[in-house]
Amino acid sequence: MSYGVYQFNKESIDVTAAMQKDYDDNGYIAYKQFLDKEELDNILKVLENPDLIEKYGYGVPDGLGTKAKMVIWGHPGSDVTGMLARSEKVVNTCEQLMGGGEVYHYHAKFIRKDAFDGGCHLWHQDYGYWYQNGCLFPEDMITMFVAIDKCEKENGCLQILKGSHKCGRIDHKPVAGQTMADTDRLNAIKEKCLLEHVELNPGDALFFHANLIHTSAPNTSPKRRWALLHSYNKKSNDPIYKHHHPNYTPLTKVQDICIKECKNYTDFSGKDFMDPKSDKTTEGEKEKETK
């Protein structure tokens, strides 16, 4: 990426004026080494738990004969991923980038692109989905994308159109099992907004606006590409509909050290994993039903 990349400093986690300007102008900022090796290793103990995938994983067709594989849950829970979701460095960054105000955990998404496997995510805005859920203000919604493995062009890294969040909400249409931004409008935006490949090392993080247009290619390489995403919504933007993601639920922040100190790798109570049949914006199928 050419802009908006910063080295994370645990001694000073506040968003600077330069970071804020990059986020406002480009629709994202990236942090190098947002998670250190010890934090990442502790999170991996949850994500590599086979029960997580076998019980709650599913795939969404991409129209290319493959499926985008994921696990989605609504509430943080008390395991290590929940400590990450509630950590001060994550929550405070989200609140500051969105101009202040209380946020809550909207949902998390564990995206799995295994070696030689893992479908693409079609061009879309997150708000293209969340608009259908009754969220009114896209500027009050944000996602943190954490690279669990090295993310590069070869294994289907995230691609973004820099500054595309300023285009407002784009119409989205069902394509395969997903929801994709209108092709004619998308092609016009591609001529105006620079395409960036978000190549990240393990532990790097990208914070991006709900209207930023993005995609990712299939993984046809021998390299695994896993990512963990946590999305946040402002309390003041509580969705007007009850749906498959949480309405406003108070979030209790924890100190960053809890990411390392937490030893809960198997108790997923309270996370509220999503059944793909409950999501009216995709056509997901349980992995155990498609093996």
CA dist list (Å): 101 to 38, 95, 104, 233 = 31, 6, 10, 10
pLDDT band at 291; cut points 50, 70, 90? very low
CA distances from 62 to 9, 65, 69, 104, 186 (A): 38, 7, 10, 30, 18
Given this model, what pLDDT does residue 64 score? 85
Could you identify the residue written with the tokens 């629709």? 27
The DSSP output letter for 271 is S
172 Cα distance to chain centroid: 19
Distances (CA, A) of 95 to 73, 114, 224, 250, 255: 21, 33, 32, 14, 16
- For the domain spanning 5-9+18-239, the CATH number is 2.60.120.620
- 14-23, 215-224, 238-247, 277-286: least confident range: 277-286
Tokens of 232: 């946040």
List C-alpha distances in Å: 136 to 19, 96, 127, 132: 25, 20, 9, 10
Q: What's at 204, amino acid-wise?
A: D
**pLDDT at residue 37 in the model:** 98
The domain limits of the chain are 5-9+18-239
pLDDT digits (tens, 9 = 90+) for 133-151: 999 999 999 999 999 999 9
User: Please, which residues have CB within 8 angstroms of residue 291's CB and are 6 or more apart in sequence?
Assistant: none
Rounded CA-CA distance 218/154 in Å is 9
User: What one-character DSSP code corresponds to residue 69?
Assistant: E
What mean pLDDT is reported for the chain?
Answer: 94
Q: What is the mean pLDDT of residues 194-207?
A: 98
Cβ neighbours for 56, distance < 8 A, ≥ 6 positions apart: 71, 73, 273, 274
* Structural contact between residues 181 and 213, judged by C-beta atoms closer than 8 angstroms: yes
Using CA atoms in the order 137, 249, 232, 10, what is the torsion angle rounded to 10 degrees?
Answer: 140
- What's the CA gap between 163 and 25, in Å, rounded? 6
State mean pLDDT over 184-204: 98
Local confidence band at 261 (pLDDT 50, 70, 90 cut-offs): very high
Each residue's pLDDT tens digit, 224-255: 999 999 999 999 999 999 999 999 999 999 99
Q: Residue 165: which H helix or E strand, with range? A: none
Residue 290 has pLDDT above 90, yes or no: no
